[in-house]
Amino acid sequence: GMTQSPDSLAVSLGERATINCKSSQSLLFDSNNKNYLAWYQQKPGQPPKLLIHWASIRKSGVPDRFSGSGSETDFTLTISSLQAEDVAVYYCQQYYRTPWTFGQGTKVEMK
């Protein structure tokens, strides 16, 4: 499965937020050298918003303060300078194989 850490974190405005995601199996597909890992942001009452796919590729329109890194089983989402509108729950997801699996979510709050 997918395990995120921490479950929650409080960060000051303008400071860095880092969320980790660990997969029990490698998400690296050898034939195309891509990691099948996505990151989402979800605010109350809204659907998940895709931020990053292929582990590190930002979806069009996503601010560049969001970045993804990692490979195989260990991944990180970094918000370089937290803004008020970034307060949300963040999920990682593997789409290497079905059933897709999601991390349990990390709640990011403003300190």
Partner 1 sequence: EVQLVESGGGLVRPGGSLKLSCAASGFTFSGSAIHWVRQAPGKGLEWVGHIRSRANNYASGYAASVRGRFISSRDEAKSTAYLQMNNLKSEDTAVYYCVSVDATIDAWGQGTLVTVSS
Residue ranges in contact with partner 1 by CB under 8 A: 36, 38, 40, 47-50, 53-54, 91, 93, 95, 98-105
Least distance in Å: CB of 53 to partner 1? Answer: 5
Q: How far is the CB of 13 from partner 1 (least distance, A)?
A: 27
Nearest-approach distance from CB 50 to partner 1, in angstroms: 6
Q: What is the DSSP string of 6-63?
A: -SEEEE-TTS-EEEEEEESS--EETTTTEE-EEEEEE-TTS--EEEEETTTEEPTT--
